[in-house]
Structure 1
Amino acid sequence: MPEAAAASAAGLPARGTLLAFDFGLARIGVAVGELETRHANPLLTVHEEANAARFAIIARLLDEWKPVALVVGLPGHLDGREHELAPRCRRFANQLHGRFGIPVHLVDERLSSAAAERQLHDAGLSGWQARKPVLDAVAAQLILQHFLDLNAHAPA
């Protein structure tokens, strides 16, 4: 079962790859990071909407990157209320764990998409059409970086 949104890295090795997901109904952003360096990078955006196609792509990514754990963003409102998409994100996290048997950590992703928008705009991608293909992957990067930063005190 995915761990609570406290984003604890308990049980993680000092080294290894993590994959993070910014789950959405239309797209899933994916990022990759390393426990040793505590640095995350955007990887890709899954544009398929059918679950079978999504999980086939994810299976290939897991085979390629061989992560020790996965991170899934859990959306919430600024006032602490759960976002409408949060139950779907939890379900996605449960499916990842159930299908692949890899530990899954849920992490608060409030404002990750807005921060990704700002980051891409500041990088010169001012039009929505220019940002859209990479927005979710950058949001996943921010989610994963947040997880790594929260757990910077964990033994590395």
Structure 2
Amino acid sequence: MGVDVGNARVGLALCDPDGILATPLKTLRRDLKKNSDRRVLRKLIEVNEVTEVFVGLPKTMSGGESSSTVMAREYAEALVNELAAELQQVPVWLVDERLTTVSAHRSLHEAGVSSKEFKTMVDQVAAVNILQHAVDTLKVGQHLPGYQVELTEPSTLSAPSTFNHETENPNV
């Protein structure tokens, strides 16, 4: 599953069991008080039998951090802790997602999507871009910039690195 976390919405994408094609799934409205968006996300992870989650980490063009980077990290960390509390063992990865939202905006404009549908779709398309890039990169055996989020105390995450793993049934 691909996840694009924003201030107002969270875009979700899934790929087929063979790990070939990422497709839009849903856009969730962020609920910063009740966190109902993460509750729905965890249910979708369970129902769709997701084996891995790739959350976009929006770094600056120079590779630096921003408030969006911190937000994505906190969201991924909370998701890992909540999945563990529900006894769901699904790895969550934070992966570099520079320009995925820009690419999503361009694709939707080129496709002639109306402004009414644009807001809902842009987050899903960004999630598709995150997931498709991850699946394609891993399939050819390359390293994907990012790291697995570990179950930890709030605001304590493992250091960024690159990862390369093999998936036999990447229903991500």
Mark yes or no: TM-score above 0.5: yes
The answer as to whether partners of 1:74 and 1:86 remain within 8 angstroms in 2 is: yes
Q: Distance in 2 between matches of 1:130 and 1:65?
A: 25
1:39 aligned to 2:26? no
Q: CA RMSD in A?
A: 1.7
Segments of structure 1 that go 5 or more residues without pairing to the other structure are 1-18
Identity of aligned residues (%): 32
TM (norm. structure 2) is: 0.73
**Aligned-pair CA distance for 1:150:** 1.4
Q: Distance in 2 between matches of 1:37 and 1:96?
A: 23
1:1-150 pair list within 5 angstroms: 19-34=1-16, 36-50=18-32, 51-101=34-84, 102-125=90-113, 127-150=114-137
**Aligned-pair CA distance for 1:39:** 1.5
Amino acid at match of 1:76: K
Q: Distance in 1 between matches of 2:21 and 2:61?
A: 26
> Closer, same or farther in 2 for the Cα pair 1:140/1:73, shift >3 Å?
same
The answer as to whether partners of 2:7 and 2:30 remain within 8 angstroms in 1 is: no
For 2:151, the equivalent position in structure 1 comes to: none
**Aligned-pair CA distance for 1:35:** 5.6
Segments of structure 2 that go 5 or more residues without pairing to the other structure are 85-89, 142-165
**Aligned-pair CA distance for 1:56:** 2.1
